[in-house]
């Protein structure tokens, strides 16, 4: 078996963190390929259950990256996000999972190198923490356990509303 490589999900806001990740690309900075970025309009859209869902699904770590404090494009979305990340940490530690597996970062769109630094930092941290106990064998095509049925339930309901009105 190959050496453990953590899998990290990053929730990045459109205006700063995602732009910083793009800038890291334009600058051809090299960083570990463990991170998968999911773009949100603002980290204000981050929900505690997204973080938990990601862990349940088997990621080893999550980081949330928003604008610098005071510099949020949506005024204070990043401040709300920070509190939610704190709450997710609290719940994770109650579960018995290391709260360090999730963290919140702030960076501006000009901080491409900072983005690479964050990925390095999280990768190093998660490598030392070891794989998440919820991690399925990589490449397994079948889910290990049933997916949360509430999520399924909402799949049919919500979608229609959002296009009707």
Partner 1 sequence: MDATTSDRIMVTVDGRTAEVPAGTSILNAARQMGISIPTLCNYRGLSCYGACRVCLVEIERGQGRQLVASCSYPAENGLVVHTETEKVKDSRQTILELLLAQAPESAELAEFAANLGVESTPFKPVTNGKCILCGLCARVCNEMMGRGAINLFGRGIAKQVRTAWSEQSDQCQACGACAFVCPTGAVDLKTITARRLRPHNTGYDQFLTARPCIDLAHPQASPRVPYIDRDNCVHFKSDECGLCFKVCGAGAIDYEQTVETLDLQVGSVVLTPGFEAFDATRRGEFGFGFAPNVLTNVQFERMLSAAGPTRGHLSRPSDGKAPKRLAFIQCVGSRDAGCDNDYCSSVCCMAATKEAILAMEHEPGLEVTVFFLDLRAFGKDFDRYYERAQKLGVRYVRSFISRTYEMPGSKNLRLVHMNPEMKPVEAEFDMIVLSLGLEPSASLQKQAERLGVVLNRWGFAKTSELMPLDTSRPGVYVGGAFQEPKDIPDTVMQASAAAARAMSLLAAARGTLVRTKSYPPQRDVTDEPARIGVFVCHCGSNIASVVDVEAVVKKAREFPNVILSEHNVYTCASNNQDLMKEKIIANKLNRVVVASCTPRTHEPIFRDTLRDAGLNPYLFEMANIRDQCSWVHSASPEQATAKAVDLVRMAVGRAGCLMPLQEETVPVSNGVLVIGGGIAGMTAALALADQGFPVHLVEKSDQLGGTTREIHHTLDHGDVQGFLAQTIDRLRASRNITIYPNSSVSKVDGNVGSFTSKVVTDGELREIKHGVVVVATGATELKPQSYGYGKSKHVITQLELADRLGKGEFDLPAKATVVMIQCVEQRSEERPYCSRICCTTAVRNALLLKERFPKARIMVLYRDMRTYGYREAAYREAREKGVLFVRYEADHPPTLEVGARLRLKVREPALGKDLQVEPDMVVLAAPMAPRADRKEISELLKVPLNADGFFLEAHTKLRPVDFASEGLFICGTAHSPKFITESISQANAVAARAATILSHKQMPVSGQIAYVDPDKCVSCMTCVHLCAYMAPRIGTDNKAEVQGVVCMGCGSCASECPAKAIMLRHYVDTQILAAVNSLLYAEPVEKQVKNPYPEQVGVAPPKWHKSGV
Partner 2 sequence: MIVANRKHVQELCNMFKGHKRVLLVGCGTCVTVCLAGGERETGILGSAVRMALKLAGRGEVVVNECTIERQCDDAFFDPLAAHGAEYDAICSFGCGVGVQALAERFPDISVYPGLNTQFMGLLESQGVWTEKCSGCGNCRLGEFAGICPITRCSKRLLNGPCGGSRDGQCEVREGLDCAWQLIYDRAKAIGTLSKIEEIALPNDWSTALDGGTRKVVREDQCIAGLGPKA
Using CB under 8 A, list all residues that contact partner 2: 47-49, 52-53, 55-56, 91, 94-97, 133-134, 145-146, 148-150, 153
- Which partner from the list partner 1, partner 2, none does 121 bind, CB cut-off 5 to 8 Å by kind? none
CA-wise closest residue to 10 among 82, 56, 84, 64: 64
Site string for partner 1, 97-136 (x = CB under 8 A): -----------x-xxxxx-x-------------------x
- Which partner from the list partner 2, partner 1, none does 19 bind, CB cut-off 5 to 8 Å by kind? partner 1
In the complex, least distance from residue 79 CB atom to partner 1, rounded to whole angstroms: 9
Among the residues of 60-140, which ranges form H helices?
77-95, 112-129
In the complex, least distance from residue 94 CB atom to partner 1, rounded to whole angstroms: 20
d(CA 146, CA 19): 36
- Which partner from the list partner 1, partner 2, none does 130 bind, CB cut-off 5 to 8 Å by kind? none
Which two structure tokens, joined as six digits, stand for 18? 């995602």
Length, in residues, of the chain: 165
In the complex, least distance from residue 98 CB atom to partner 1, rounded to whole angstroms: 20
Encode 3-42: b = buried (16+ Cβ within 10 Å), e = exposed. eeebbbbbbbbbbbbbbbbebbeeeebebbebbebeebeb
């Amino acid at each position: 078996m190959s050496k453990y490589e953590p899998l990290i999900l990053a929730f990045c806001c459109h205006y700063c963190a995602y732009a910083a990740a793009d800038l890291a690309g334009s600058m051809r900075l090299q960083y570990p390929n463990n991170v998968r970025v999911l773009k949100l309009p603002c980290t204000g859209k981050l929900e505690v259950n997204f973080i938990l869902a990601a862990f349940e699904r088997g990621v080893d770590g999550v980081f949330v990256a928003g604008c610098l404090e005071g510099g949020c494009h949506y005024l204070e979305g990043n401040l709300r996000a920070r509190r939610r990340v704190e709450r997710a940490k609290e719940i994770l530690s109650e579960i018995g999972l290391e709260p360090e597996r999730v963290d919140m970062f702030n960076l501006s769109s000009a901080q491409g190198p900072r983005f690479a630094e964050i990925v390095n930092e999280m990768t190093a941290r998660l490598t030392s923490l070891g794989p998440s106990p919820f991690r399925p064998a990589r490449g397994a095509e079948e889910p290990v356990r049933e997916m949360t049925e509430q999520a399924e339930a909402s799949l049919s309901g919500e979608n229609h509303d959002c296009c009707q009105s």
